[in-house]
Structures are given as structure tokens and as C-alpha cells.
Amino acid sequence: MLFPSKSFHIQRSFQRFVTNYSTLPIKTHIDMKYDLYLPHKSTIQKLPYHCQESIIFMHGILGNRKLYKNDCQILANYLNTAVYAVDMRNHGETENCLPLDYKTLSDDIYHFASDHGLEKPSLIGYSLGAKIAMLAILQNPSNFTSVVCVDNVPIPQPEIIPFLTAFTKSIGTLITESNITKFDKDWVHNAALWMMKYVPDKPTIDYMIKNVTNKSSHIKQLFCVPEKNSLYCKVPVLAISDIINSEVPAWPSDLVEGCKVDNSILFIKASRSGFIEEKGVNAIKKYFNNYDIIELQGTHLIMFERPQAYISAVANWFIKRNKTETSQLADKQLENNF
């Protein structure tokens, strides 16, 4: 699972690469890389349902938009709407820059919707993406329709810091300390074995190793050690590991003090992750008047363990929500006529 219950042994030698690495540029407004998924023409006339708004899909920490291409296409087909899957800053193909905090990340989503002319899109976010989505709709409830939060809640989570440290060091030391080079034929297998020394959980390694490649990119600078022909990392973990440890577990409560919205919110709870418990549910009640919680059996990697179950839950929730809101609008119009 992405956040297992077992602690990991971490080597200290990685720290010298973190502190000596070049700093990243400061940018308040960026152009996020994205993929647009439209409903297949063959399905449009077969489905009576149409989701009124577009959807923006956000990945978790150390994730990227390509991990969810099948999910996004299925949702686009099923809901008969456009789905935009984005790479957040410092992830995937989107540029590396600072700040990397929830305020900046939620502003990135706001600007993305505005730049692409999306009128009140809905948001789907996993883990890190879920917190970004919650902050975005709390700060701009009139600019977004609804939110789906996959296995996260609006509270600080200092207990995940040791795991985040292990994640970034497993990738960082792979590049800076291992003898695995971009020319090795078995680099994927050997890289996974190296990372297992820090994160002894295969599903988590399968998730994180998607950030590693043996090829450079013309789209953005990838982090590497050229003199040792190292592998490349799509996320600048060498520059932002400390920032990840401090910002990802946080929740900017000062930015949403007194905020409570009526927008529809769905929380997908993974039964064995520990992310959505009593404290988190109390926080949900504090911020959101209109929420649902659906529990699915699985760990924090629920989207990879049970893709059909979570996609079905999300799609059916959108359909139910839309029917309810349409019915309420019709009732209101009927009342106005009499």
C-alpha cells in the first residue's frame, strides 16, 4: 500500500544531495500539461445521461496523469462529458518550480479552469489531489460544481511524514547512489530492487517507479547525475524532498477559517488505509454541508487495486447527484409558475 503501517529504514547519506542541489524557479502561474478525454462517438447516442460540467482529474503525490488514462476515458464515456487529466507542478511533464503548497496548487487548478474556458467544472482528486480539490472548492465554491475526494480528508497528517521521507529517498538514492545506469538492460527490475530497500512494499514501488526513466525528455528537465550516466527522475525529489515532507501532510486551515460550502462532495474511503477516520469525518462535517462517504475494501492504492469499483462508485454518484439537482431545479421552476 502507498502508506503501509510498517516503518522504513532510511539512510542519511542522501541528505547531501538534497542540500547541494540547485534551487527551482518561483512561479505563481504555470501551464499544466494535460490530456483531454472525450466520450467516444459510438457511446454518445447509447447513453441517456449527460454530465453538465467538465471534470478535472488530479493525481496524488509522486503520481502523474498517465496513470489514470483508462479511468478518465471510462468516466468520459460513461458520463458523456470531457475529462481533463492534469500533471500538477513538479510532476509528470509539467515544469518544475516552486512554491509547492496547497494554496499554490489549488490556484493552479483555478487558473487551468479559467485558461481553458471551463464553466464550473467538477474536480476528482486522489490523495494529494483530493486536498487540492477540497481547498479549491472551499475558496471558490461558485467556480466549481462538485468534488470527488479519493481517500483523503481536510486535516493535518504528520503521521505520514516517515513514509514520504522513505518514498523520496528511495527514488533519490536510486539516482545519486546506485550503480544502475540508463544503459542497463534490466534497469526497471534493478531499480525496483534498490527502492525496496527503503520501501518494502511492491504495490507502492510499482506506483513510484513510474517516475523513473532511462531516457531524457525534450519537454522538461529531468533530474539526474550526468557524470555517472544515472537514471532520470520526472519529479525533482532531490530539490523538494523537504518541501514534500512539510507541505503534503499539511492542511491550510487558516485559509478556510469559517468556510462551509453547499457544493456536493463525495469521499471514497479505502477501508484499510486509515486516512478517513473519525477525526477526518468531523473535519468533513466542519467544511461541507452536502457530503457522501462511500467505503470500498482496499488500501490507499484503492484506485489501482479496485479500479472498476471506484469508477462505478464515482460515475453513479455523478448520475445520482445530477438527477437530484435537476429534479430540485424543476420543482423550483414549478413553484415559480404558481
Active site residues: 127, 151, 300
The helix or strand, by DSSP H or E, that contains position 330, with its residue range, turns out to be helix 307-336
> From CA 206, how far away is CA 241, in angstroms rounded?
20
* DSSP-assigned letters across all residues of 28-72: SS----EEEE---HHHHTT-----SS-EEEE--TT--GGGGHHHH
Partner residues linked to 302 by β-bridges: none
Cβ(250)–Cβ(104) below 8 Å: no
Smallest CA-to-CA distance from 141 within 2, 256, 272, 8 is with 256
**CA R_g for the chain:** 21
The helix or strand, by DSSP H or E, that contains position 136, with its residue range, turns out to be helix 128-139
Cβ(153)–Cβ(251) below 8 Å: no
Cβ(5)–Cβ(200) below 8 Å: no
Cβ(59)–Cβ(68) below 8 Å: yes
Using CA atoms, how far residue 241 sits from 161, 176, 237, in Å, is: 11, 14, 5
